[in-house]
Structure 1
Amino acid sequence: MTSEIEYFVIAFAVLLFLFGLVSRRISGTVVTAPMIFVAAGMLLSPEGLDLLSFSSSSTPVLSVAELALVLTLFSDASKIELQTLLSEEKLPGRLLIIGTPLTIAFGAIVAAFLLKDITLAEAGLIGAMLSPTDAGLGQAIVNNTKVPAKIRQALNVESGLNDGGAIPFFLFFLILARGEALKWPVGTLIVLAFEQIGIGVLVGAAIGLAGGWLSSKAVRVGWMTGLYRKIGFMSLAVISWLGADFIGGSGFIAAFTGGLITQAAGKIKATEEEIILTEAEGSILSFAVFFIFGITAAARIFLISWPIFIYAVLSLTLIRMIPVAISLIGMKLHTKTVLFLGWFGPRGLASVVLLLIAMEETGGIGGSETLILAVITTVFLSVFVQGATAGPGSEWYSRIVAALPTDAPERKKGGEPSISSDNLDHQT
């Protein structure tokens, strides 16, 4: 490791320990872990106290960020149950299947209209990077039992799965943006994009099938202990990621597919303890990603223009709220429920990791700096504004629901949200 990376690891370890000391004390306040780690990164950056400095495109930094997303994708996919996804009057499914693609499309259209120095492919890239949501930034909502379980479950399931749904779009637009700069034929770019996605799916499915079957068999014959079931679960995520990347596929697609197939292939469902190990590792890494984001954002925070700031505000409001409203047509939900679901779609871990990848891959492309600033501004506002309003917002909405008739759709019983790597200990 270089001295810069060593300083980063020491600083992050100290910060993580100090945060742990006060984690219970700040629980229930408007302060969240992402806020603290982003602020600390900015404070220690060259623009702050000048104690930390490194390139956001350096291999160790990217590896930490990518591993955090891989563990998140695998663990979230491993918990997918179609019955849950399509239950609660199909609320999570509507947000994912209708809302996510519309959010990407709206985000791209507004970016192309408002940000003049980017191409259509770069506009699509912005839309894709800012479509995944992070329930961890609004953990106060998921944990507030006064908010109807079906609403909390919908936000939880959506945030756990829409990052996997956004990645194919991200890859497609990233390849188009790079290809445009290199003047490659459009047909070649489209084939390359589908190759990466297809190889990722095939590798993830193969590893998931083999890993799930072998784990299930080993458990049945008593060869595998509980500890190594947990370790094996995390290992499959890494194998899927690196295996696909090695042969030219998307490691992220492979990780998501691997998690999905592992549970389906292993007749013994992955236990909560197995998933928690992967999520615990992912949670620590996600804090590191927010720390990296703070250092990266500090260098550009004073370069934000009015068009970029306006876009960030629209991304957190209308660009998400309109697709959410469209996806919920016919469900007879209260207008304030739709607004609540639309507002609490914070951008976090997935957007930051995809940004770091885009920074490495699009360096030198004409609109790359505008693209970077748009994502940084949106995530920064989301971490602090949406994170701070999660607690008060959930209390406000719980009072709205309490005043609704007993037969209102919001008040029908629903299942409690399960633990998700997007909300695991982000706040407590």
Structure 2
Amino acid sequence: MIAILVLLTLLFLWTVVSDRLARWSITAPIAFAAAGILLSGLDHPVVPLDVDTHTFQRAIELVLAVMLFTDATEARDYARLRGPVGEGRLLGIALPASVALATLAGALVFPDRSWWLLAVAALVVMPMDLAPVLMILRDERMPLRVRAALNIEGGFNDGLISPLFVFCVANLVSAEGDTFGDLLLNALQGAVYAAIVGSVLGYLASRVVRRALESGWAKPASLRLAGLALPFLTYAASVLVEGNGFVAAFVAGLWYANTVLVIGSDSLDLVQDVSHLLALAAWYAFGALAAEAFADGVALQVFAYALLVLTVARFVPVVASLTGTVFSRAERAAIGWLGPRGVTSIVFAVLAYVQLPEEDADFVVNMTSATVLLSVILHGVTAEPVARWFARHPQQPGPARETD
């Protein structure tokens, strides 16, 4: 209970000084991570945080489930681009290539680690999340198609990586006698069950909500609660049938997206606010874990790996995949560089921490802590200069008609 009291107090204090702190580039994620370090990450924590409990694991899983749902349902006004914005190439080519490069970078820096562990670390640190530099999406100085590409990529990459993450973790903690084929079958079975549950509940919810609106049984404002309940409902139903709750919530969000267009995007305001609150709690937990991870110092190899995954492992595949499209060289470079890491990586790291053996768990947490902290600094400092550069060098506004 004291943890909830502290988080709510921090939230209240943040809201009353947020604009003032924003002038100093102190964002909510930074503030809550710092609070986690100071209050729960020291040798004698004021607010003890036990991340090994089953309750904590379920709570952090729900954070990701709600985030995946909102990512899938979020619709932004990119219609005037009249075509794709490189999302197919970013998700189908750049993302797998980035994960592969991050795994190879891990093998280069940590040659004594197993390939499965390096793959888990790569899947944790590669999904980009615009939450730490959300102002990018609202900055009119940035080309619209750049913002669209980043937003769509950020909304879908964690949903695509989730089942792969579960599969790789299973290979590290599998019971003796489980073969690779057994683990692969279990992962596919969980994904299929999740897709079925997400599709059925997402479709039914969409039909019921539309019917309620058309018949006058409910007003759009009251239907916000339906949007809030759906990701929790879908996650719980999928877990009950041994499906992947993350995938189920994501699929349900895809089905519900069309309904959002009918009843209005403000129908998601409540679930988005809840998602934001849960994300801040995840940043607090990250602060506590990061303090523990760096209590005995940080090896140079850890930051070398973080720098590689933030630069080479992302920049090269993204720029290469968008070559030959309508994106200018500067726009490709901006998309390649602006790949901040945030809540998605934190949630995956916490899940790895509670499921993996202690040595492997510490390794993943160290990699994630270094990567996220370095990302907050590098992307937070460079986002404004990038926007100013585009303000001085306007790009041609033609539609993105590339073939994905």
The TM-score normalised by the length of structure 2 is: 0.91
2:335 matched residue in structure 1: 341
Counterpart pick for 1:269 among 259, 262, 271? 262
* Cα gap change, 1:370 to 1:85, in 2 (>3 Å): farther
Larger mean CA deviation between 341-350 and 23-32 belongs to 23-32
2:156 matched residue in structure 1: 161
Counterpart pick for 2:64 among 48, 69, 84? 69
Counterpart pick for 1:175 among 170, 173, 176? 170
1:130 aligned partner, one-letter code: V
- In the TM superposition, residue 369 of structure 1 has moved relative to its aligned partner by 2.2
- In the TM superposition, residue 30 of structure 1 has moved relative to its aligned partner by 2.2
- In the TM superposition, residue 226 of structure 1 has moved relative to its aligned partner by 2.8
1:406 matched residue in structure 2: none
1:23 matched residue in structure 2: 18
Q: Distance in 1 between matches of 2:176 and 2:82?
A: 46
Where does the alignment leave 5 or more consecutive residues of structure 2 unmatched? none
1:139 matched residue in structure 2: 134
Preserved contact between residue 124 and residue 348 of structure 2 (Cα < 8 Å): yes
Superposition RMSD in Å: 2.5
2:337 aligned partner, one-letter code: W
1:361 matched residue in structure 2: 355
Q: Distance in 2 between matches of 1:298 and 1:165?
A: 30
Q: Distance in 1 between matches of 2:228 and 2:268?
A: 8
* Cα gap change, 1:304 to 1:74, in 2 (>3 Å): same
1:151-195 Cα shifts (integer Å, max 9, x gaps)? 11211121112111111221221222222x745211111111111
2:288 matched residue in structure 1: 295
Q: Distance in 1 between matches of 2:327 and 2:219?
A: 47
- In the TM superposition, residue 137 of structure 1 has moved relative to its aligned partner by 1.5
The TM-score normalised by the length of structure 1 is: 0.86
* Cα gap change, 1:48 to 1:393, in 2 (>3 Å): farther
Note the 1:41-190 alignment, pairs <5 A: 41-47=36-42, 50-79=45-74, 88-179=83-174, 182=176, 184-190=178-184
- In the TM superposition, residue 256 of structure 1 has moved relative to its aligned partner by 0.2
Preserved contact between residue 75 and residue 265 of structure 2 (Cα < 8 Å): no
State the number of aligned residues: 399
Q: Are positions 1:247 and 2:241 aligned together? A: yes
1:418 matched residue in structure 2: none
Counterpart pick for 1:386 among 379, 382, 390? 379
- In the TM superposition, residue 143 of structure 1 has moved relative to its aligned partner by 1.9
1:47-67 Cα shifts (integer Å, max 9, x gaps)? 277312222232443343222
- In the TM superposition, residue 46 of structure 1 has moved relative to its aligned partner by 4.3
Q: Distance in 1 between matches of 2:136 and 2:29?
A: 16
2:250 matched residue in structure 1: 256
Q: What SS class does the counterpart of residue 347 from structure 1 fall into?
A: coil
**Runs ≥4 in structure 1, deviation > 4 angstroms?**
83-89
Preserved contact between residue 293 and residue 365 of structure 2 (Cα < 8 Å): no
* Cα gap change, 1:270 to 1:108, in 2 (>3 Å): farther
- In the TM superposition, residue 41 of structure 1 has moved relative to its aligned partner by 0.9
Q: Are positions 1:228 and 2:222 aligned together? A: yes
1:211-248 Cα shifts (integer Å, max 9, x gaps)? 11111111111112334310011111111111101111
2:31 matched residue in structure 1: 36
Where does the alignment leave 5 or more consecutive residues of structure 1 unmatched? 1-5, 403-409, 416-428
* Cα gap change, 1:413 to 1:101, in 2 (>3 Å): same
Larger mean CA deviation between 306-315 and 170-179 belongs to 170-179
Q: What SS class does the counterpart of residue 411 from structure 1 fall into?
A: coil
Q: What SS class does the counterpart of residue 54 from structure 1 fall into?
A: coil
Q: Are positions 1:199 and 2:193 aligned together? A: yes
- In the TM superposition, residue 281 of structure 1 has moved relative to its aligned partner by 0.6
1:229-286 Cα shifts (integer Å, max 9, x gaps)? 100111111111111011111000000001111234x496352111111101100111
Q: What SS class does the counterpart of residue 226 from structure 1 fall into?
A: coil
Q: Percent identity?
A: 27
Preserved contact between residue 198 and residue 247 of structure 2 (Cα < 8 Å): yes
Counterpart pick for 1:211 among 193, 205, 212? 205
Preserved contact between residue 77 and residue 260 of structure 1 (Cα < 8 Å): yes
